Chains A and B, each alone.
Chain A
Amino acid sequence: MSAPVRTSLLDAQAIGRALHRMALEIVALAGGTERLVLVGIQRRGVELAERIGVLLRREHGADVQHGALDITLYRDDLNEIGPRPVIGETRLPHELDGKVIVIVDDVLFTGRTIRAALDQIADFGRPARIGLAVLIDRGGRELPIQADIVGERVPARPGDRVDVLLAEVDGRDAVELVRGSAA
């Protein structure tokens, strides 16, 4: 097995610019910030949703509602993958009816995480609309699911890995493509 090759796709500045643009598009999608709820997917989606929230506060003076989803219990691969060691927190506002939820995640790949997130949100309420914003769309969908808002499109091969590193979790901001790893 050859050593994996790591290529930088986005640096900290590029991530910042992408999030800035995504924040504007999210406001447009939700028709303002009043009914908007940003729901991050554990774990880096939660950090990204937080950052977008900070941008919206700074530039629109709006305090948007936040939520977090851990979709582990809604996965369809327990038999294949086995249990996840640590399940993160799930918290959503009490009232979802009539809200515009924008799901925020770091990487969109097969679409199965988003399928699970939609199922989970449906167990909590009936929002007026659910949108999807991802920092990276790497292609490779296995379900008919597409993002409304994309920070950057990255054509990755099936065996590649796209790592989104965030300062809050990983100590630095970067998006890297890892090619030729174990796949």
Chain B
Amino acid sequence: MTPTLGKDLLGLEPLSGEQLRLILDTAEPFKEVSERAIKKVPTLRGKTIVNLFFESSTRTRISFEFAEKRLSADTVNIAGSGSSVQKGETLVDTARNLEAMRIDMVVMRHPSSGAARFLAERIRSNVVNAGDGTHEHPTQGLLDLLTIRDRLGRIEGAKVCICGDILHSRVARSNIWGLLKLGAHVAVCGPQSLLPRGIEELGVTVFRRIEDAIAWADVLNVLRLQLERMNAGFIPSLREYYRVFGVTVERLERAPRDLVILHPGPMNRGVEIDSRVADGPHSVILHQVTNGVAVRMAVLYLLAGGRPELAEAAKSGREGGE
């Protein structure tokens, strides 16, 4: 039985390794669509997708919008500010009003952890989580997985260290779940104040020193250090952070092997990452951005099918026919 995704994509934690592989394999042919002169296929013609962003986002929102448009869906963007949300409308009321206009899918970013599930349980449309609080950012996790697979040829057995503010990071959480389910060795590295307690229980290695992480890893996923964390007292200063945890050329030069460097963006050059590393030969940061569109096209395509239980029957019944 071929795996399917179901109605929503809320996180990578609920998915199986098989489902993750389905998404990554489906993303492969979508890469080619974006390289065509006419970057568009009619797959989701007539579907209406609402991008509901209660938090600011440039990269993720635009990436989803490209993915939707390249699949020929009709899209509407709603930002939290300047909409009825500001007037105090609840999330469910907003969504029900949208559904009354006959939409098919909602892509939502929201500052509260669990908001995507809350919405998915209350509306019939497919829901794609584009980041909810500190919970998950599944499409970012998927594009990181795809990029690692592109670079190393595999994910199973790869040693991936996620560096920085793990505690507040939905990107870290989605990465950890996805990587573990696909058989990677996962580590985290950052100041103790920014590591979740008990993370070792998931089977994740903890490095206190970035030098140790670099000596161990095949891949570093360097997270953005949210500048507001400093004001909240999690780290003493940005300069201090760079001195102790910054991913610099000098540190990478001492690594026993060439590392692949990921960063979900937007970067703080000179805080968590050295500019020379970000622009260097081992950085796949822009490759991640390209893969983001392909992976989001794959997710939208797989969710839009609607009746995945028929896919298997159709496949066996129609093979050799049309």
For residue B71, which residue of chain A has the nearest CB? Answer: A73
In the docked arrangement, what's the CA distance between A89 and B33, Å? 10
Shortest beta-carbon contacts, A-B, top 10 = A82-B305, A83-B305, A82-B311, A73-B41, A163-B320, A85-B2, A87-B29, A109-B322, A82-B308, A73-B43
From A78, A81, A123, A164, B40 is in contact (CB under 8 Å) with: A123
Measured CB to CB, the residues of B under 8 A from A are 2, 4, 22, 25-26, 28-29, 32-33, 36-38, 40-44, 71, 301-302, 304-311, 314-315, 317, 319-322
Measured CB to CB, the residues of A under 8 A from B are 44, 70, 72-75, 78-91, 106-107, 109-113, 119-120, 123-124, 138, 161-164, 181-183
For residue B306, which residue of chain A has the nearest CB? Answer: A79
Shortest Cβ distance from B38 into chain A, in angstroms? 5
Shortest Cβ distance from A165 into chain B, in angstroms? 8
Q: A81-B311, A164-B320 are in contact. Are A119 and B29 (CB under 8 A)?
A: no
For residue A120, which residue of chain B has the nearest CB? Answer: B41
Shortest Cβ distance from B103 into chain A, in angstroms? 15
From A75, A89, A163, A182, B29 is in contact (CB under 8 Å) with: A89
Q: A73-B41, A123-B36, A164-B320 are in contact. Are A83 and B302 (CB under 8 A)?
A: yes
In the docked arrangement, what's the CA distance between A85 and B19, Å? 11
Shortest Cβ distance from B317 into chain A, in angstroms? 6
In the complex, which of the residues B25, B29, B38, B308 has the most CB atoms of chain A within 10 Å of its own CB atom?
A: B29
In the complex, which of the residues A124, A161, A162 has the most CB atoms of chain B within 10 Å of its own CB atom?
A: A161
In the docked arrangement, what's the CA distance between A127 and B301, Å? 29
For residue A110, which residue of chain B has the nearest CB? Answer: B322
In the docked arrangement, what's the CA distance between A78 and B44, Å? 8
Q: Is the CB of B321 within 8 A of A107?
A: yes
Q: A79-B306, A119-B42 are in contact. Are A161 and B321 (CB under 8 A)?
A: yes
Q: Is the CB of B32 within 8 A of A82?
A: no
Q: Is the CB of B42 within 8 A of A73?
A: yes
Shortest Cβ distance from A58 into chain B, in angstroms? 28
B305: chain A residues within 8 A (beta carbon):
78-79, 81-83
Shortest Cβ distance from A59 into chain B, in angstroms? 28
Q: Is the CB of B321 within 8 A of A81?
A: no
In the complex, which of the residues B22, B36, B37, B322 has the most CB atoms of chain A within 10 Å of its own CB atom?
A: B322
Shortest Cβ distance from B123 into chain A, in angstroms? 19
Q: Is the CB of A124 within 8 A of B304?
A: no
Shortest Cβ distance from B144 into chain A, in angstroms? 22
B32: chain A residues within 8 A (beta carbon):
89-91
From B4, B42, B302, B322, A74 is in contact (CB under 8 Å) with: B42
A82: chain B residues within 8 A (beta carbon):
4, 305-311, 314
